[in-house]
């Protein structure tokens, strides 16, 4: 299935801003994070089609999946 | 102030004002002559469409300027984001700032914290910021608290600015603000990247952005340009709220990337 993955902030460095990815059916949001080499502890927000999701949420064909890191400095 | 006194003061103000602008030195003289505060004089001036000279370049009407003059903003954290937001709000003419921060200025603050310089190292941030802001806006009332925040840091404020640097502290502040039904303008920065938005009961921004209750352990790197950008957004949103303007950040937050020069407005999800 095809899913568009959008990365934000420093997750973009050495990766991409947005990319269409071919993924096996039933791939979870968390699996994509892991495959991108992103530490789950750095995750701030995960959204599928602008709705908040969890690591174990299953992605569907045509989803737009956005991954935001924690930004915490002041 | 008695009504007779007010009308006498107004006459004096009108004598000194030129094209509806009142210079600071004249306002100070009038205050001394009538034995009242600079704040009292400038309030009367604004009530009668005379603008204190230092605000003449603001694109605000007298009623708008007066509204800011009477507003109370609590700034929680007086480092990078907090110091710069406080400076901008003092310059535009917000009348009362409640500044809370337990820290002193140290060398690593020099890259990004306004009023941190080699002379202010070792001094309480809120004390230095308060004193510097008074040289920018002498009618400002600035209440410094050298401590971690609690409900007294916010409960007399119209709005709160989140200028903290810890996930746990932000979650706690968000909860305090919601208990008191005070909106909170969130801001956070790391390296070239930042975010800002409005946290309130109707749109739980902090709950959305910080799904893990604890932040990463490492102290983040922060660039001064990112601090200036996000503090500017925070000051802008604060003023828009105080002036009763709509904001596209109601129900959304702003994500900024200075490397790519991209600014995204993302809807806050309610499905939590």
pLDDT digits (tens, 9 = 90+) for B94-106: 999 999 999 999 9
Residue A12 three-state SS = helix
State the average pLDDT over residues B33-58: 96
Rounded to an integer, the average pLDDT of B70-97 is 98
**Over pLDDT 70: what percentage of chain B?**
97
Contact A70 B210 (CB under 8 A): yes
Do the beta carbons of residue B165 and residue A73 sit within 8 Å? yes
Distance (Å, whole) CA B3 – CA B8: 9
The pLDDT of A32-59, averaged and rounded, is 94
Confidence category of residue A47, pLDDT binned at 50, 70, 90: very high
Q: Model-level pTM greater than 0.80?
A: yes
**ipTM of this model?**
0.93
Query: Which residue of A12, A51, A74 is in closest CB contact with B271?
Result: A51
B-contacting residues of A 3-22, CB under 8 Å?
A: 8-10, 12-13, 17
Mean pLDDT of all residues belonging to chain B: 95
State whether B195 and A52 contact (CB < 8 Å).
Answer: no
**Nearest-neighbour CA in chain A from B237: distance (Å):** 17
Kindly provide the b/e burial profile for residues B140-178, where b requires at least 16 CB atoms within 10 angstroms of the residue's own CB.
Answer: bebebbeeebeeebbeebbbbbbbbbebebbbbbbebbb
* Best of B102, B174, B195 to mutate (most A CBs within 10 Å, chain A): B195
* pLDDT reported for residue B272: 45
Contact A73 B257 (CB under 8 A): no
Task: Give the residue on B whose Cα is nearest the Cα of A55.
Answer: B211
Alpha-carbon distances, residue B174 vs A51, B74, B83 (angstroms): 21, 13, 20
């Amino acid at each position: 299935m095809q899913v568009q993955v959008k990365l934000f902030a420093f997750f973009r460095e050495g990766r991409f801003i947005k990319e269409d990815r071919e993924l096996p059916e039933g791939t979870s949001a968390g699996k994509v994070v892991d495959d991108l080499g992103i530490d789950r502890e750095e995750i701030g927000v995960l959204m599928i089609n602008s709705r908040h999701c969890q690591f174990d949420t299953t992605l569907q064909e045509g989803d737009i999946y956005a991954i935001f890191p924690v930004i915490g400095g002041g | 102030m008695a009504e007779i006194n007010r009308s006498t003061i107004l006459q004096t103000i009108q004598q000194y004002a030129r094209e509806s602008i009142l210079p600071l030195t004249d306002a100070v003289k009038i205050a001394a002559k009538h034995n009242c505060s600079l704040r009292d004089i400038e309030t009367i001036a604004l009530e009668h469409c005379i603008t204190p000279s230092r605000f003449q370049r603001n694109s605000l009407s007298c009623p708008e300027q007066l509204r800011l003059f009477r507003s109370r903003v609590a700034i929680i954290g007086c480092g990078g984001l907090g110091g710069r937001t406080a400076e901008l709000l003092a310059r535009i003419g917000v009348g009362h700032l409640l500044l809370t921060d337990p820290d002193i200025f140290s060398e690593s603050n020099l890259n990004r914290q306004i009023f941190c310089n080699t002379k202010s190292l070792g001094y309480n941030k809120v004390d230095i910021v308060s004193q510097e802001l008074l040289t920018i806006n002498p009618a400002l009332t600035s209440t410094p608290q050298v401590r971690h925040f609690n409900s007294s840091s916010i409960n007399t404020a119209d709005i709160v600015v989140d200028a903290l640097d810890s996930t746990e502290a932000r979650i706690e502040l968000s909860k305090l603000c919601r208990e008191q039904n005070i909106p909170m303008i969130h801001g956070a920065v790391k390296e070239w990247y930042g975010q800002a938005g409005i946290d309130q009961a109707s749109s739980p921004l902090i709950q959305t952005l910080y799904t893990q209750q604890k932040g990463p352990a490492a102290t983040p790197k922060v660039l001064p340009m990112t601090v200036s950008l996000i503090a500017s957004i925070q000051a802008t949103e604060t003023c828009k709220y105080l002036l009763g303007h709509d904001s596209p950040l109601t129900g959304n937050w702003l994500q900024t990337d200075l490397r790519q020069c991209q600014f995204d407005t993302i809807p806050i999800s309610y499905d939590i």
